[in-house]
Each structure stands twice: as C-alpha cells, then as structure tokens.
Amino acid sequence: MLPLLKNEWIKLWNKKQTWIFAAAIVVIMFAITAIYYSFIEETTVPQGQNWEIALETEIAEQEEILANENEEWVLESAEQKIEENEALLAAGVDPNITNNMTFMNETLLVAASFITLFSVIAASSIVSSEIDNGTMKHLLIRPFERWQFLLAKFLTVVGFSAALFVLLVLVNLILGTLFFGAGSPSTPVMEMNFDGNNLYTTVDKVLPQKSGLYFLNLLMFIIISFSISILFKSQTLAVGIGIFILFATSISQAFTALLGETAWYKYVFLPHMDLPAYVVRDELLPGVGLGFSVGVLAVYALVFIGASTVYFQKRDLA
Amino acid sequence: MSQTVLEINELTKQLNRKNIVHNASFQMKKGEILGLLGPNGAGKTTTIRMIVGLIKKTSGKVYINGRDLDEEGRACKSEIGAIVENPAFYDHMSGYKNLEQYARMAKNTISKKRVNEVVELVKLTGAIHDKVKKYSLGMKQRLGVAQAILHEPALLILDEPTNGLDPKGIRDLRDYLRQLADNGISTLVSSHLLSEMQLMCDRVVIMEKGKIINISNIHEEEETESVAGQLVALRVADNHIGLAQEVIAGVKEVTLSQRENGSVLLLKMPYDFLPELNRRLVQGGVDVFGLESRRSTLEDKFLALTSEKSDELQKEAT
Ligand SMILES: Nc1ncnc2c1ncn2[C@@H]1O[C@H](COP(=O)(O)OP(=O)(O)OP(=O)(O)O)[C@@H](O)[C@H]1O
Ligand SMILES: [Mg+2]
C-alpha cells in the first residue's frame, strides 16, 4: 500500500496543474489581503484606547434617533445597533481591532473555498485521467487489489488538500502579520449570526472549530467528485457536479428558507455542506443539529464510496 | 516433464450477447514462445485482457504456474509482465521516473542497477531522462517492453510488441525473447505480422472470430515439409515455359504444382534434387533465371485457415 501512496504523491507533484493550484492559493491570498487592507483603511473610526468611548457615543446617537423618529424600520435598526454595541462592550470586543489573528479569522475560510474548488478538480481527475490516457491498465495488472489503487488515490487527494490548507494558513499568517501586525491568538471577536444572537468569543476558540468543520465539508466534496468520476467515467461531469454543489451550498440558506418545512429536506446533503455555520448556531432547522448533519453526510459518504469501489472492482477496463 | 506456466481453459468472453472469445484453451510450457495470431478483431487482445485480469471472464479458467487467477490473483499477477495494446505512460514524467513507478509496485525490491540494466537492454539509455511526451512511437514501445520485463516475470505477455519498432528494434526484441526463453521465461506474443511470428515463435495459436482454429508447431512443420517434398519456384525466359514444362514432365521426382504469374513455375520435389533438376533444364536448352526453394510460409497457412483475407493483412505480411 505504501508504494502506491508514494507513487500517487510523486505523480501528483509531477503535474503542472498541482503547482498552478498551489501558486493560485498564494496569489488569491495576496488579493484578499489587498482588498481587506483597502477596506480597513477606509473605516475612520478611532481605534485603540477610545473604542469603548466610540461605542458609547454611538449608543447615545442611536438613543436620540429612538426618541425623535417614528418610522418603524429606523427604530428597529437603531435598537439593533444599541443592542449590538452593548453586547460588544459587555464582551470586551473591539469591533475595529485588526491584527493578524482577526484577519485570519475573517479571511481563512473565504480563501479556503478555492481549496475546495481545486480539490474537486484534483479528485475528479485522479482516476479518470489515468483511464483516459491508458495508464490505468499498467496499474491494474500489478499485484494489488483494485480498491488499493482507489484508496491510494483518494488519500493522495486528501493529502493534497491538507497541504494546500497548510500553505494557505502560512501565507495568511505572513501577510496578516506584515500588514496588520501580530496580535494575541486570544483576541476577542464577534461572529455574526443573521438569525439569532451573535457569538462573542476569541480567535483561538472559534477558528479551529471553523477549520475543522470546513475540513469535514471538504472531505465530502472530495468523496462526491471522486466517486462520480468513477461511476460515470467522466471527469467533466464530476468537476461540473462538484462546482455546482459548491455554488449551491453558498446559497443553501435560501434553499433552507424555501424548503426547510418539508419533511425530506433535512435528508438532502446540500444544506449540510455549510457546517462552519454551526459555530454560531446550534440548529440548522428545528431538531437538526451538528450531530444530525454529520450523520447525514456520513451516510452519503458511505454510499458514494461503497458504490464507486464496488463498481471499480468489477468493471472491465478496455 | 516440462512445467506449464500458463493454462487457459475454455475461456469465454461475452459482451452484448456476442461471444467475443469462445471456449479458448491452450497451454504454455516454461521457456516457450507462443504466438497468438489472428485477423483484426479475432479476440487476441480480449484473450490477453482476461489473462491479466483487466476484464472479467464470462466463463473459463486461467492458471498461472498452476495457480488459479480467480483465487490467487495477486500471486498470479506478480509473475506476469505485460504490454496490452499500446503502452501508455505518464507523458509529463521522464522514462526513468515512469520505470521507477513500476519498480515500486513490484513484489520484490528492484535495484537501481536492474532498472539501468533494462534501460540499456531496450537501448533507451540516451533518452531515458527525457520526458515521455518527446518519445517516438518506437521509443514508447521499447519503454513498454522495459516496464514489462523489469520485475523479471516468469510469463511475459506482449500484445503487438513490434508495433512501431524499426527492423533493428524487432530483431533486438526477437533475440532478447529468445535469450529469455533460454533462461526459462515464457512469452505469449500476439501479432498479425506473420513473417515476424514465424521467426519469433516456437508455436502459434491461430484465432478467428473468437475461436481458436489451429495450434501448430512451427519447427516441426519445416521438418515434415523437407521430407515430403519442398516447394520450389523456377523462373525461366518467357518463351521457354513450354520447353521447361516438357523437361519437367520427363522427371519423375518432380511434380508441377502450379504456374505462377507468367514465367514462374511452382514445383514440388525433394530438396536435394535441386542441382540435378537444374542440370536437366540446362541440358534441355531452357534459359534458367532463378531456381529457389520456397518454404510454405506461415502466411500461406494463415490465409488458408482464416476465411477473411483482408488486403491490409496481406500487405502487412509481406
Ligand atoms: N468493449 C467492447 N464492447 C463490444 N465489443 C468489443 C469490445 N471490445 C472488443 N470488442 C469486440 O471484440 C472483438 C475482438 O476484439 P479484440 O480487440 O480482442 O481483437 P484483436 O484480435 O486484438 O484485434 P486486433 O488485431 O485488431 O488488435 C472485436 O470484434 C471487437 O469489436
Ligand atoms: Mg488487439
């Protein structure tokens, strides 16, 4: 088994595509830093010592609005702002503090969605490209079981994704430190929750959670594209479906709002492809928590892996 | 008693209710070079694919060194080296790196020395560190031979190995297979290059439309021919045909077999009667332009046996 893994790893890094993906991660991280930097520059709210005063001033302003206005949406937004600022004050979270830790907390998963994309492409092509160019037959006549080749290839893609993630964290850390200065890992931060209470926490607590949940989803993306490329013998279809799911998950909240009521919706894997959302909320739908989501994904994963392995074990290789 | 390296027993492959290979059976002895002959689409490649386990057999058995392929697949495969149709490689990697991949998958450790030895043998030393995409067809074929023999298998299976090889390359391969055979390694080689097979093989199996229609021993046939009478072609001056026929009619050892295009007569006679015939012809006043013994070639036999005589085959055989 080890020689197969080694072979796959060597083959992977002998492909130009692999290096292009790695380079793209670096470039993308630079771009995100540039955008973030210019965005931070624009905000002129005083920083440092004065942040608590600034928040209190804002509260006072909003209270004045409350007293003088009577249009409903204005009142609502003012109330919300007051509530938020009070919570920030209570939690000791400076909303305008920016250092390499808050930077990483806010940008890591944005950049990581490109890792998902690249992993989908790698997973879709690692089996089908060898079938297409005829090298697979040279593998299958060796003294190994067919599933061992699949396992080696699957683990190689997972390893590749993990390597890209490590690269991303490193580049993110370097750029964050250069542009925003070093901060404490326990810098307090606020995580927005659009339909519930915001979460007040620290970077070192929330970021590992988010990353772990992200990685579970990434694994799922890899399993789906990998299996589809085997079952449908088509690299294009696998990449297409992978990217479709990637886009669909980014708007899955809309689906959830539309279809959340139906009995079957919670058994579809799509709404569970945004696991990092569980950082701020306990339930996706009533009765659907993290455990349920992971359970649903696990069942899908087993079905995909089982079907593709059985098929690959039996198929004729022309 | 010599050992049986490969035995196939009533091997059948059915696809879409059509028998692509039907009840094929033969055995190969240790150190034997067996040719698998047949017109395009006869089922040679399909038979080979079943032996190396790339496709499932519909029915029948394959034994390698007495082991059942179905039960001890990995043990069987570790004794086989094969080229199945056109060898394909990782184009973006060098020939050497490709070979390293296959070396790692072998059951026994393969030393660098062995790799270099094989590279030298297939005469790729100068190009082995170039990327495979720069290789010519013949160079790829040589690399294909290299990956097949790298792990010193007991059974070599080569599907059209001479495809794309230049005359020197074909000759080298032939010599090498003979050398391997002397060391007890058996080779199953498929081709429709008939003259080539005649020089290369000990025995040939002739297939047509999925069935084995003949198995014959090449060297035995040559012997029986020389006893029973050999085919001799006599070429005389155009206007001496009649005269020559008269002379021949008067010699009881020689029988006229057929008149070939214009001034060539095909005769059947004992080989050692040739000088005497020549003398009689000259005495009879016939201008002799050529007198040569003609072995009945594998081609004659092949074409007689197989009903389909496509132009292509005949062209290739000459
Ligand atoms: N996957 C397939 N599906 C249907 N028919 C097939 C398939 N593969 C091969 N065949 C048919 O099986 C027959 C035998 O094919 P095979 O490749 O074994 O012939 P071959 O003897 O190797 O011919 P060639 O000399 O051209 O290499 C052909 O008629 C071919 O059309
Ligand atoms: Mg063939």
Three-state SS string across chain A, please? Answer: CHHHHHHHHHHHHCCHHHHHHHHHHHHHHHHHHHHHHHHHHHCCCCCHHHHHHHHHHHHHHHHHHHHHCCCHHHHHHHHHHHHHHHHHHHHCCCCCCCCHHHHHHHHHHHHHHHHHHHHHHHHHHHHHHHHHCCCHHHHHCCCCCHHHHHHHHHHHHHHHHHHHHHHHHHHHHHHHHHHHCCCCCCCEEEECCCCCCCEEEEHHHHHHHHHHHHHHHHHHHHHHHHHHHHHCCCHHHHHHHHHHHHHHHHCHHHHHHHHCCCCCHHHCCHHHHCHHHHHCCCEEECCEEHHHHHHHHHHHHHHHHHHHHHHHHHCCCC
Whether B315 shows a pLDDT value over 50: the answer reads no
**Same domain (yes/no): B55, B174:** yes
**Same domain (yes/no): B116, B188:** yes
CB pairs under 8 A between A and B: 70
Which residue in this structure is represented by tokens 């050992």? B3
**Same domain (yes/no): A84, A104:** no
Decide if B58 touches A, using CB distance below 8 A. Answer: no
**Same domain (yes/no): A212, A262:** yes
pLDDT band at B183 (very low <50, low <70, confident <90, very high): confident
Residue A301: its pLDDT value, please? 95
Residue B249, domain member (yes or no): yes
CA distance A298 to A303: 9
Domain end position, chosen among B193, B218, B243:
B218
Q: Which residues of A touch B91 (CB under 8 A)?
A: 133
- pLDDT above 90 coverage of chain B, percent: 36
Q: What is the total count of domains within chain A?
A: 2
Nearest ligand, measured from the Cα of B46: 1
CA geometry: angle B144, B147, B152, nearest 5 deg? 130
Residue A220: its pLDDT value, please? 93
Distance B200 CA to ligand 1 centre (A): 24
Residue B233, domain member (yes or no): yes
Residue A244: its pLDDT value, please? 87
Domain end position, chosen among A55, A75, A96:
A96
**Same domain (yes/no): A227, A84:** no
**Considering CB atoms only, which of A3, A6, A142 is closest to B77?**
A142
Looking at this predicted complex, what is its ipTM?
Answer: 0.80
CA distance B252 to B87: 56
What pLDDT digit, counting tens, does each position of A184-202 carry?
A: 888 777 777 766 777 778 8
Name the nearest CA neighbour of B201 among B212, B183, B186, B211.
B186
Q: What is the total count of domains within chain B?
A: 2
Residue B209, domain member (yes or no): yes
**Same domain (yes/no): A206, A91:** no
**Same domain (yes/no): B266, B117:** no
**Same domain (yes/no): B187, B56:** yes
Which ligand 1 atom is at minimum distance from the Cα of B47?
18
Which ligand 1 atom is at minimum distance from the Cα of B160?
27
What pLDDT digit, counting tens, does each position of B261-271 carry?
A: 777 888 878 77
Residue B312, domain member (yes or no): no
**Considering CB atoms only, which of A6, A134, A317 is closest to B86?**
A134
Residue nearest to atom 28 of ligand 1 (CA): B41
**Same domain (yes/no): A227, A154:** yes
Whether B1 shows a pLDDT value over 50: the answer reads no
**Same domain (yes/no): A88, A185:** no
**Same domain (yes/no): A165, A232:** yes
Residue A42: its pLDDT value, please? 58
**Same domain (yes/no): A191, A64:** no
Decide if A14 touches B, using CB distance below 8 A. Answer: yes
Domain end position, chosen among B160, B184, B218:
B218
Residue B311, domain member (yes or no): no
What residues flank ligand 1, with Cβ below 6 Å?
Answer: A 318; B 15, 20, 38, 40-46, 192
Most A CBs within 10 Å: which of B48, B52, B90, as the mutation test of the A interface? B90
**Same domain (yes/no): A167, A223:** yes
Distance B201 CA to ligand 2 centre (A): 18
Domain with B284, as residue range(s), is 229-294
Name the nearest CA neighbour of B173 among B150, B196, B204, B202.
B196
Q: What CATH number has the domain bearing residue B248?
A: 3.30.70.2250
Residue nearest to atom 27 of ligand 1 (CA): B40
Domain end position, chosen among B198, B218, B238:
B218
DSSP B131: B
Q: Which residues crowd ion ligand 2, with CB under 5 Å?
A: B 45
Residue B296: its pLDDT value, please? 62
Which residue in this structure is represented by tokens 């006679």? B269
Decide if A132 touches B, using CB distance below 8 A. Answer: no
Residue B299, domain member (yes or no): no
CA distance A202 to A185: 8
Of the two residues B100 and A195, the one the predictor is more confident about is B100
**Considering CB atoms only, which of B90, B107, B147 is closest to A14?**
B90
**Same domain (yes/no): B190, B60:** yes
Residue B309, domain member (yes or no): no
Distance B6 CA to ligand 1 centre (A): 22
Q: Do A143 and B75 touch (CB under 8 A)?
A: yes
Distance B145 CA to ligand 2 centre (A): 16
Tell me if B212 sits within 8 A of B204, measured CB to CB: no
Whether B300 shows a pLDDT value over 70: the answer reads no
**Same domain (yes/no): A13, A92:** no
CA distance B167 to B173: 10
Q: Do A7 and B80 touch (CB under 8 A)?
A: no
Domain with A139, as residue range(s), is 2-29+98-314
**Same domain (yes/no): B79, B187:** yes
Residue A39, domain member (yes or no): no
**Same domain (yes/no): B81, B174:** yes
**Same domain (yes/no): B187, B240:** no
Residue A141 C-alpha, separation from nearest chain B C-alpha, in angstroms = 6
Q: Report, as ranges of residue numbers, the positions in chain A whose pLDDT lies below 70.
A: 41-49, 91, 194-195
**Same domain (yes/no): A179, A227:** yes
Residue B223, domain member (yes or no): no
pLDDT band at B7 (very low <50, low <70, confident <90, very high): very high
**Same domain (yes/no): B212, B157:** yes
Domain end position, chosen among A74, A96, A118:
A96
Whether B244 shows a pLDDT value over 50: the answer reads yes
What pLDDT digit, counting tens, does each position of B105-146 carry?
A: 998 888 999 999 999 988 899 999 999 999 988 889 889 999
Q: Which residues of A touch B101 (CB under 8 A)?
A: 7, 10-11
Residue A36, domain member (yes or no): no
